[in-house]
Structure 1
Amino acid sequence: MPDTVNAESRQPSGPLAGLTVFDLTRVLAGPSCVQMLADLGAAVIKIEKPGSGDDTRGFVPPSMPGTAESAYFAGTNRNKRSVTLDIAQPEGQLIARALIARSDILVENFKVGTLARYGLGHAQLAPEHPGLIYCSITGFGQTGPYAERPGYDSLIQAMGGIMSLTGEPDGAPMKVGVPVADLFAGLYGAIGVLAALRHRERTGQGQHIDIGMLDTHVAWLANQGMNYLATGQNPPRLGNQHPNIVPYQVFATEDGHIVLSIGNDPTFARFCREFGLDHLCGDERFATNAARVANRALVTETLTPVLAAHSSSWWLGRLEALKIGCGPINTLEQVFADAQVIARGNLVDMARPDGTSVRLVANPVRLSATPVDYRLPPPMLGEHTDEVLTDMLGLSETDRAALRRDGVI
């Protein structure tokens, strides 16, 4: 079980400590980008709409145990201070600009042109703040014929090609079971911010980072994208099989399923020798990976009864002993109970101000000198409004009361 982190009063200590992010993001792509920066030590001011906040606060059920907070929101909003601010009001825009003046990085995922209407677009802020790093994450980027369209994960998965590659050969196109289009956009956004910080370190100049979800989606088509570019042919859906390696797929066992991943010819020959399939080593249809790819159906048909003859545990034990790639198909319950997952510290419990604890998936980046820093649990809506406006802008209790009366905060 992970230890509970009581970190509310700790100062940032990661590699980005001393930097401030003005966070105008919501839902997933933007918040995941900012959480990465926050985990690396940046101080984050998360701006949320008074009364409702980030859309994902309402994405329930489920809620985190012992709270009314959505699990969805909790997953990408640790290490952030929540400030409620209505940037559609002139007073809210003035406060936003004052906070931006004290920030190093601004991340936003509004539709193209929305923030410009509030005087908060990059072109409006850059002359006054030339060192500001401004990262925009949208569905289709700032230019092109689709720039003004809204972007949603399933829409991007459909348009970006991954759904045409995912699913059974004779089945319907299938999206990935987690919002990968959002998450990859967030990761590329964080990478862009880190590169821009290095540039600013050398030159003093900030810049605008333009992240389009469709762009990042096309970028991670990886070998399948290259397969198309090399052949001009649309890769077919292969279910759980690999387009370039055979056998590298799911097989049914006597009592379930496992993944068998044989990545080269010597390993395939070793598999055959160990499990009574020596005759395949001399068969030209099986001898090389290229031949096995060309005879994919035959390889699968030949190995299916072999794998089905024993239990999953029998296969996993013997394959692991032979150093042949294999693995169980875990449920999430099994994932979070896995000895390797636990040993690597992939879960973290964070104490909330009310004494309850929230369990989160940890950041996977392992830095030897400046480790990831867990300081703040996912915030309640507006939890830090008074603190931030007092500490950073010097607003008095009277000032804040007037802003609340007018719905600005």
Structure 2
Amino acid sequence: MDRTPTGPLGGLRVLDLTRVLAGPTCTQMLGDLGAEVIKIERPGAGDDTRGFAPPFWPNTGESAYFLGANRNKKSVTLDIAKPEGQAVVHRLLESCDILAENFKVGALAKYGLGWEQLKEKHPRLIYCSITGFGQDGPYAPRPGYDALVQAMGGVMSLTGDPAGTPQKVGIPIADLFAGLYGCIGILAALNHRNATGQGQRIDIGMLDTHVAWLANQGMNYLATGENPPRLGNQHPNIAPYQEFPTQDGYIILAVGNDPTFERFCKAVGQERLLADERFATNAKRVENRGLVTETLTPVMRSKTTAEWIEALEALKIGCGPINTLEQVFADPQVKARGCVVEMPHASGETVKVIANPVRLSATPPAYKSAPPVLGQHTAEVLGGLLGMGGAEIAALKEKGVA
């Protein structure tokens, strides 16, 4: 099969043994950047997310969930639990640069496809494993789920109304970050291989990546030994930086420093606050955040959201509406940046996908193929890459292998 370089990762081939979201996020990024991604799926079932519905995309039979993480991939049905399926995987690996997987720890070794079993035969192979808790440690055997990792990783203790219950983030952020960190690891390993000729194993644990992006809140804890409290929509280190009610809804106000606060106070007729030591510096405002909220709430209620945005943006004061998704996708900035891409699907329908946000001036992401239907490329890959004839492929299908 053609390996003519297209895109920054053109010429690279990925054997994708991932499913659900963390792994597919990683491999979709590689596909967007030009790699050929061969997605191995269970015959008759496929990636679990094909059934994560409703909603289905109209007239395609595909879940919206699956469509969101599987473009630029070729779907090959193969039962790797059967020896014949394992043999096909070994043949595919002869021409693959990267293997990505998110099976439970040790699961692929049962099929002869573990890192330790492959690294001698394929010394240039980059082998990326994404699991809930990594390859070692007391939790390594446990399955990983996004909500579970959000809970165990601390972010739920930081999220939600102070008087309410802990809340998870409204999208599967633990899965997404694990996938993106996996992609970063693969790119680093590719650079190392370019210099040395040697592949390596990348061990991504969702809990590890979750702890890594605790960022300023994690550092706040390490500096004080105190668990940061839930603050709703307020910022732990800046004030005012939160939502306020307006005359007709809500607005986010983000005052990032003292000069901005001074401009804000003068703009809203609250110059008196500048002489009050409780408001004089950001540190004091954080210390007195309750007073800040109480003082500014009636001020912000005096205008509509649109009126505030027009007035504050003119003064370069951070602010913005709290959009629904309908408003997000209708936003002129989102439209101008081309954040939605339409792709022709194998069903004959056109599907919309959310664009890759990495903007490269010379080699931008490409949208070569829509998320595939189950097994769409089995004959193409097994015939074109492995040289199998129609009868041999048909025999594999007859046995339930392909």
1:375 aligns with: 368
Is the 1:12–1:375 contact (alpha carbons within 8 Å) kept by the matching residues of 2? no
AA at the equivalent of 2:262: A
Out of 282, 303, 306, the position equivalent to 1:310 is 303
Name the CA distance, whole Å, in 1 between partners of 2:349 and 2:21.
25
Matches within 5 A, 1:172-191: 172-191=165-184
Name the CA distance, whole Å, in 2 between partners of 1:232 and 1:385.
55
Out of 217, 226, 238, the position equivalent to 1:233 is 226
Out of 358, 361, 366, the position equivalent to 2:354 is 361
AA at the equivalent of 2:348: G
Out of 236, 253, 273, the position equivalent to 1:260 is 253
2:336 aligns with: 343
Is the 2:97–2:126 contact (alpha carbons within 8 Å) kept by the matching residues of 1? yes
3-state SS of the aligned residue for 2:385?
helix
Is the 2:346–2:372 contact (alpha carbons within 8 Å) kept by the matching residues of 1? no
3-state SS of the aligned residue for 1:130?
coil
Out of 223, 245, 250, the position equivalent to 2:243 is 250
TM-score when normalising by structure 1: 0.97
1:127 aligns with: 120
- The reply to whether residue 214 of structure 1 matches residue 207 of structure 2 is yes
Is the 2:4–2:11 contact (alpha carbons within 8 Å) kept by the matching residues of 1? no
3-state SS of the aligned residue for 1:117?
helix
Name the CA distance, whole Å, in 2 between partners of 1:87 and 1:282.
71
Deviations 1:320-370 (A, max 9, x none): 111100000000000001000010111100012343211000000000011
Deviations 1:228-272 (A, max 9, x none): 000000000000000000000000001100000000001001111
Is the 1:10–1:375 contact (alpha carbons within 8 Å) kept by the matching residues of 2? no
Out of 79, 86, 90, the position equivalent to 1:97 is 90
AA at the equivalent of 2:40: I
Name the CA distance, whole Å, in 1 between partners of 2:231 and 2:208.
24
Q: Percent identity?
A: 69
Distance 1:340 1:12, change over 3 A: farther
Name the CA distance, whole Å, in 1 between partners of 2:156 and 2:310.
34
Out of 310, 321, 333, the position equivalent to 2:326 is 333
- The reply to whether residue 272 of structure 1 matches residue 260 of structure 2 is no
Name the CA distance, whole Å, in 2 between partners of 1:11 and 1:273.
61
Distance 1:11 1:339, change over 3 A: farther
Size of the aligned set, in residue pairs, is 401
1:111 aligns with: 104
1:67, distance to aligned residue in structure 2 (A) = 1.2
1:171 aligns with: 164
- The reply to whether residue 33 of structure 1 matches residue 26 of structure 2 is yes
Name the CA distance, whole Å, in 2 between partners of 1:181 and 1:353.
31
AA at the equivalent of 1:140: F
Name the CA distance, whole Å, in 1 between partners of 2:29 and 2:67.
14
- The reply to whether residue 13 of structure 1 matches residue 6 of structure 2 is yes
AA at the equivalent of 2:260: T
1:161 aligns with: 154
1:197 aligns with: 190
Out of 267, 292, 314, the position equivalent to 1:321 is 314
Listed as ranges, the gaps of 5+ residues in structure 2 are none
Name the CA distance, whole Å, in 2 between partners of 1:187 and 1:146.
22
1:10, distance to aligned residue in structure 2 (A) = 12
1:309, distance to aligned residue in structure 2 (A) = 1.2
- Which structure's relative contact order is higher, taking Cα pairs within 8 Å and 6+ residues apart? 1
Is the 2:59–2:347 contact (alpha carbons within 8 Å) kept by the matching residues of 1? no
AA at the equivalent of 2:140: A
3-state SS of the aligned residue for 1:46?
strand
1:13, distance to aligned residue in structure 2 (A) = 1.7
3-state SS of the aligned residue for 2:100?
strand
Name the CA distance, whole Å, in 2 between partners of 1:48 and 1:345.
31
1:5 aligns with: none
What is the Cα-based RMSD across aligned positions, in Å?
1.1
Deviations 1:141-164 (A, max 9, x none): 000000000000000000000000
1:101, distance to aligned residue in structure 2 (A) = 1.3
Out of 284, 287, 298, the position equivalent to 1:294 is 287
3-state SS of the aligned residue for 1:393?
coil
Listed as ranges, the gaps of 5+ residues in structure 1 are 1-8
AA at the equivalent of 1:92: G
Distance 1:23 1:10, change over 3 A: closer
1:11, distance to aligned residue in structure 2 (A) = 6.9
Name the CA distance, whole Å, in 1 between partners of 2:5 and 2:50.
25
Is the 1:11–1:375 contact (alpha carbons within 8 Å) kept by the matching residues of 2? no
Deviations 1:123-156 (A, max 9, x none): 0000000000000000000000000000000000
1:88 aligns with: 81
1:385, distance to aligned residue in structure 2 (A) = 0.2
Name the CA distance, whole Å, in 2 between partners of 1:397 and 1:223.
57
1:274, distance to aligned residue in structure 2 (A) = 1.2
